[in-house]
Amino acid sequence: MTHTLSTTITGTTRTGADKDGNPSYTVSTTDGTWRTAPGSQVGFGITNSEFQGEVILTIDNDLIVGVSTPDGEHFTGRQS
């Protein structure tokens, strides 16, 4: 099930990489903690400065598959 969540990122921790070297992160927010999907573009972008603070997360099966700024100007990964 895919849904979006407007929240604030409070921290990111690199938790490893997949077999191809793509990073994965644990992302803490004011509404809970999720991991980025393995091998997804969101793993590369979620630590960028434009995504530190208020964001809209796209979550699929409890994994972050996309993130965007509230105004939609900046985004990475899948958007719903």
Q: What is the pLDDT of residues 24-61, one digit of tens each?
A: 999 999 999 999 998 888 988 999 999 999 999 999 99
Residue 78 lies in a domain: no
Q: b/e for 44-61, b at 16 or more Cβ within 10 A? A: ebbbeeebeeebbbbbbe
In the block, residue with structure tokens 């972050």: 64
Residue 38 lies in a domain: yes
Number of domains in the chain: 1
| Interatomic CA distance for residues 69 and 22, integer angstroms | 22
Residue 65 lies in a domain: yes
Q: Which is more confidently placed, 79 or 54?
A: 54
Residue 79 lies in a domain: no
Name the residue range of residue 46's domain: 2-72
| Interatomic CA distance for residues 67 and 21, integer angstroms | 21
Give the mean pLDDT of the chain.
93
